[in-house]
Structure 1
Amino acid sequence: MTTASPSGSHLQEAEDFLARYPELEAIDIVMTDFHGIGRGKIIRRHELASLYKSGRGMPASLFGQDVAGDDVDSSGLILTDGGGDKLCWPIPGTLGMMPHTGRGQVLVSMYNSDGSPFDAEPRHALVRQVERAAKAGFSPMGAFELEFYLIDRERDGKGRYQPARYALNGRDCLHRSTMSVDELDEMSPLFDVIYQGAKHLGLTLESLISEYAAGQYEMTIRYRDLLRAADDVIVAKRLIRSAARRFGMEACFMAKPFGQQAGSGMHLHLSLANGAGDNLFGDPTEGTLSPLMLNAIGGIRETVGDTMLVLAPFLNSWRRFASVSYSPASDDWGIENRTVALRVPGAPGKGRHFEHRVAGVDANAYMVGTVTLAGALQGIETKADPGPAVEPDAGGQDRTSNLPNSWQNAIQRAGQSDFLRDALGQTLHHGFVAVKQAEYQRLALEVTEAEWGLYGFVV
């Protein structure tokens, strides 16, 4: 029996894919949870058609689990309706091949039995905000930048994680070689595999740089509609991780894996287009910024404090803000200034947009897109004033505002926020906050090696 797909997917996509890859035997089907973790199954070639015809069952309780996969009963998502499955359907345009694994991959999204979106899933929250923008005559456009570390599978002599050796020659990566082209060449066998895989996944990876720490890199993804841009992040992370494993290393998307080194962000570049595709954030006249863009920035400034749990969802996320250099935990904005939260790149003209720099690379891209777009739309609706821009030479001054200053405070503020509840939806908001509260309590009881070293035998 064939059922109309509520995601808009069509069987023809699967048939064309199987014809293109006649030797393919298996496909990863991937649904993204609160934490950005891919949950799903590996199905065989003959099962792909049925996924497109009838969907595939998965338990809704996947959205009520903490990052370790343990159930959080207070989320309200565990064993609801007897623990039965809900149907997941393919997301159009995400079916592709990963040559280095020999398997295909497709992103899927969860729906209720009547075809309505399952409202605990983060991607559906972003869809709702995109639809809200469309009703106002806007098409949200965006791209994410991914910063990450490549980590050696073997620890150093003190048992600590260390940057991965270069794939080309096995040489140790010891120094901060920011924007070194030679360093990229030494890691090129891995990145060649990643770029080749991207071609088969419909993913346009663009610039690559070595970042501000040994073993840290940044990849950019082509600008496009915001929903697909968030899909791109999910696909890119899986691609980078799986390719790195085949070179004896691990890709690390923690926000702050090394306390004394640079953190890893996930900067979101955002603009709004009209129905003809024209950028509405473009400069109306030379030397003048778009009032619409300024209102959007004002709206995000007013709401960013309520969204910090989305932008920094884990305990480790908050280590990234210990140094404000390039990691602004603030609500300020400026032009061509990388010390602010909301940066307007300096190049003038029709391509103007702004960059939201607060989120860590550990954040869920769908949720980051949701709260950023929701804040921007609220600012446009209320004509929010962004206030004065921070001057580039003011980077060293204390500009922090009334934002949560810890993970615990961010959890509390998120739980009380009407804005966040409206942006995410009641079910997702409640479940997400409950899961984060459970994770906080779990880690609050964990005594670390650092505590033993400092206090264990001296106090």
Structure 2
Amino acid sequence: MNRQIADWSEAQGFLAAHPEVEAVDIVLTDANGIGRGKIIRRHELESLYRNGRHLPSSILGLDVTGEDVEETGLVWSVGDADLRAWPIAGTLVLLPWTRPLRAQVLLGLYHLDGRPHGADPRHALTRQLEMLSAAGHTPAGAFELEFYLLDAAAGPDDKPRPAAMALDGRRHGQVQVYGLDDLDGMQPFFGPVYEAAKAQGLPLETLISEYAPGQYELTLHYRNDLLRAADDLVMLKRLVRALARRQGMTACFMAKPLAGQAGSGMHLHISLNDRAGHNQFAELAGTEAPNPLLRQAIGGLVATMGDGMLVFAPHANSWRRFVTKLYAPVQPTWGINDRSVALRIPAGAAQARRLEHRPSGVDANPYLVATTVLAGIRYGITHGIDPGPAAQGQGFTQQTAFARKMPADWRAAIAQAAESDFLKSALGDELHTAFLAIKRAELLRVAETIPDTDYKLYLHHV
């Protein structure tokens, strides 16, 4: 059996250890990174593990509102047929905040004959990992999660506003980046977050007050398995959202929820290990410059960034994040210990050298982000691409040979992704077709909506 599919013995041990669990959320992650599925009762878990669970292919053809997109080829053109979902090994965990107590397990979608379904984002990442493994590279990495905590109800101006401190209800409206008092004021929320993460086996580490009122960052420990690192991020978002809701707050994973404030990113830290577990991005003995393999990886990411921007910035709101000097990269640049670039080599020990990929918003699908990043790295290594000189500060404005290949907005990103042989190869034909159809449907939905700004600018003046 596929090594990613869990064995029944795993669930048996879990149920024996947790007799109080009454139900289980079974979660399939769609193209937008949204978890969809069912809540099954405890006794149904055995059938899931032994026989799989029938779910319709249309789940992978939904837009962000949860409506079918027929153009994906996953809805009525195939009769909204059932496929088979199987539990993913190692992802059966408690939801400790639920009463009665529930658990959760992630799913992968397969054809009835056992073939991985081409529109499942997790399978796309698996394919990239297998190709890199065949070439002697094992990706390692971790995601960072930036997000806002907002009041559940809108503010006096009917717009979202940062949540009051959970400890004492205080508000200040200041940025207070790296402010420890803000973290202390939110401990009644973050304390349970860490407890729940421990219960789920999520390697949650540093907590930071980010560059806006109500904005925070949680980091995850580096894993030698990038597929599990993406699972970590999917599970952490669900955990944070659920606990915020239970404390009267909204955990907001929009890329740009508040005008004039920093957007929220989902940076991916990544390196390649050889078969012996040694870091292939480490500097060569006696040198301090990035080694040739790392330079080629950067070269591939710079060269393909424009084609991948629809993955990194998948929604209309995603593009509001790209504002100069608010820590979101606006050019395909790279640099060393420089946060103004899209691809950053952080400071640190040479043997722990890694690359930080910074373009993605927190609204992106981590499986698709990792897939596209790995494909870019493979492209650079295969073609021996040199990234050119590193930026020396002000990477926001530095022009590169690849800048002309960057889409200017969401509509242009959709058009560029549709024409990209690179992205089609990275995602696979079926996922590429479905993802583009979903994005086109969402673009049409946005285009048909008249925003309040139009009325303010034009209603009485044109």
| TM-score with structure 2 setting the length | 0.96
Quote the residue 2:458 is aligned against: 455
The amino acid of 1:262's aligned partner reads A
| Residues 1:75 and 2:72 aligned together | yes
Taking the aligned partners of 2:453 and 2:244, their CA distance within structure 1 comes to: 30
Taking the aligned partners of 2:429 and 2:397, their CA distance within structure 1 comes to: 38
Quote the residue 1:177 is aligned against: 176
What are the within-5 Å matches in structure 2 for residues 127-166 of structure 1? 127-166=126-165
Taking the aligned partners of 2:300 and 2:116, their CA distance within structure 1 comes to: 27
Taking the aligned partners of 1:138 and 1:10, their CA distance within structure 2 comes to: 28
| Residues 1:279 and 2:275 aligned together | no
Is this contact kept in 2: 1:56–1:89, CA < 8 A?
Answer: yes
Q: Secondary structure at the match of 1:350?
A: helix
Question: What residue ranges of structure 2 are gaps of 5+ in the alignment?
Answer: none
Quote the residue 1:54 is aligned against: 51
| Residues 1:247 and 2:247 aligned together | yes
Taking the aligned partners of 1:218 and 1:340, their CA distance within structure 2 comes to: 19
Taking the aligned partners of 1:154 and 1:86, their CA distance within structure 2 comes to: 39
The amino acid of 1:226's aligned partner reads L
Q: Secondary structure at the match of 1:143?
A: strand
Quote the residue 2:439 is aligned against: 436
Q: Secondary structure at the match of 2:251?
A: strand
Taking the aligned partners of 2:162 and 2:336, their CA distance within structure 1 comes to: 34
* Cα RMSD (Å): 1.3
The amino acid of 2:34's aligned partner reads I
Quote the residue 2:25 is aligned against: 28
Q: Secondary structure at the match of 1:231?
A: helix
The amino acid of 1:357's aligned partner reads R
Taking the aligned partners of 1:416 and 1:424, their CA distance within structure 2 comes to: 13
Taking the aligned partners of 1:179 and 1:134, their CA distance within structure 2 comes to: 39
The amino acid of 2:418's aligned partner reads G
Is this contact kept in 2: 1:254–1:361, CA < 8 A?
Answer: yes
Quote the residue 2:104 is aligned against: 105
Taking the aligned partners of 1:8 and 1:435, their CA distance within structure 2 comes to: 28
In structure 2, relative to structure 1, the CA distance for the partners of 1:173 and 1:226 (3 Å cut) is farther
The amino acid of 1:44's aligned partner reads R
Is this contact kept in 1: 2:371–2:427, CA < 8 A?
Answer: yes
What are the within-5 Å matches in structure 2 for residues 150-229 of structure 1? 150-224=149-223, 225-229=225-229
Summarize deviations over 1:43-79 as a string: whole Å, max 9, x none.
Answer: 1111111111111111111111110011111111112
Summarize deviations over 1:7-58 as a string: whole Å, max 9, x none.
Answer: 4311111011111111110111110001000000111111111111111111
Is this contact kept in 2: 1:29–1:106, CA < 8 A?
Answer: yes
Quote the residue 1:290 is aligned against: 291
Taking the aligned partners of 1:398 and 1:300, their CA distance within structure 2 comes to: 16
The percentage of counterpart residues that share the same residue type is 51
Quote the residue 1:9 is aligned against: 6
Taking the aligned partners of 1:397 and 1:341, their CA distance within structure 2 comes to: 11
Quote the residue 1:122 is aligned against: 121
Is this contact kept in 2: 1:72–1:435, CA < 8 A?
Answer: yes
| Bigger shift: residues 233-242 or 6-15 | 6-15
Q: Secondary structure at the match of 1:83?
A: coil
1:207 Cα shift?
A: 0.3
The amino acid of 1:216's aligned partner reads Q
Taking the aligned partners of 2:212 and 2:18, their CA distance within structure 1 comes to: 40
